[in-house]
Amino acid sequence: ELKVEQNPLFLSMQEGKNYTIYCNYSTTSDRLYWYRQDPGKSLESLFVLLSNGAVKQEGRLMASLDTKARLSTLHITAAVHDLSATYFCAVEGNNDMRFGAGTRLTVKP
Amino acid sequence: DAGVIQSPRHEVTEMGQEVTLRCKPISGHDYLFWYRQTMMRGLELLIYFNNNVPIDDSGMPEDRFSAKMPNASFSTLKIQPSEPRDSAVYFCASSWGWDSALMIEGTQYFGPGTRLLVL
């Protein structure tokens, strides 16, 4: 059974600081997704990672994938308040899609 | 395009009643997904369709849940009879299938969700 572990679950950081969210998964994956969800809102797709070593960047967010380690990271650079949200990774494999529990990020001035 | 459209946005019903949630995917997308989000269980994939055909419904919690996609522009998720533990936000999402040759990554676009409360 595909399992996805995301950590930390809660992250409070100051503006301007860097931090990384981790997403580990248990079995071979076809694709890995990162999503953002604002409170009471829907999910917004951030990145789709398809292959080992894939790295994608958008603004202050950068995602990477290591399929051998079954690990993806979402790195936040010089955080700003607008990045406050819950971030989910999701792993697709064998006709299944499993989400991590989410990381609730709060960026404080 | 207006994005994925879901209706109703909110639904309050009593235990035992039938509930029907509706979804209109983005035009041209050939995959449609139904998800459920609760505090206790997080986000769960319930079922997904490819070209209107259900591919995997292993996430459907039990026989009280059923989903259909009669055509490329419409899908329903039905709960009959509903129970309080079905209270959740139900999301519909759609995407193109992944195609490396066409550089299509399969990004899913989510609808606004239906917030269901079963009393």
Please tell me the predicted confidence (pLDDT) of residue B98.
64
CA distance B3 to B26: 5
Read off the tokens for A22.
Answer: 């981790």
Tokens 């997080």 locate to B42
CA distance B118 to A104: 27
For residue B55, give the nearest of A88, A90, A95 by CB distance.
A95
- CB-based contacts of A62-70 (< 8 A; 24+ apart in sequence): A63/A34, A65/A32, A67/A28, A67/A29, A70/A24, A70/A25, A70/A26, A70/A27, A70/A29
Please tell me the predicted confidence (pLDDT) of residue B56.
85
CA-based nearest distance B32→chain A, Å: 13
A53: left (phi over 0), alpha (psi -120 to 50) or beta: left
User: How do residues A46-58 score in pLDDT, each as one tens digit?
Assistant: 999 988 888 999 9
- Per the prediction, chain A carries an average pLDDT of 93
B56 touches chain A (CB under 8 A): yes
**For testing contact with chain B, the best of A3, A35, A42 (most B CBs within 10 A):** A42
Average pLDDT over residues B7-26: 97
Chain A residues contacting B, CB < 8 Å? 30-31, 33, 41-45, 48, 50, 88, 90, 95-102
Q: pLDDT at residue A101 above 90?
A: yes
Which residues of chain B lie closer than 8 angstroms to A31, CB-CB?
Answer: 98, 105-106
CA distance A19 to B5: 35
User: How do residues A6-29 score in pLDDT, each as one tens digit?
Assistant: 999 999 999 999 999 999 999 888
User: How do residues B69-113 score in pLDDT, each as one tens digit?
Assistant: 999 999 999 999 999 999 999 999 999 876 555 555 678 999 999
* B86 phi, psi to nearest 5 deg: -80, -10
Average pLDDT over residues B26-55: 94
Task: Count the Cβ atoms, other than its own, within 10 Å of residue A39.
Answer: 8
CA-based nearest distance B14→chain A, Å: 23
Average pLDDT over residues B24-50: 94
Residue of A nearest to B111 (CA): A42
CB A70, CB A91: distance < 8 Å: no
* A34 phi, psi to nearest 5 deg: -120, 135
A93-107 core/surface letters (b: 16 or more CB in 10 A; e: else): beebbbbbbbbbbeb
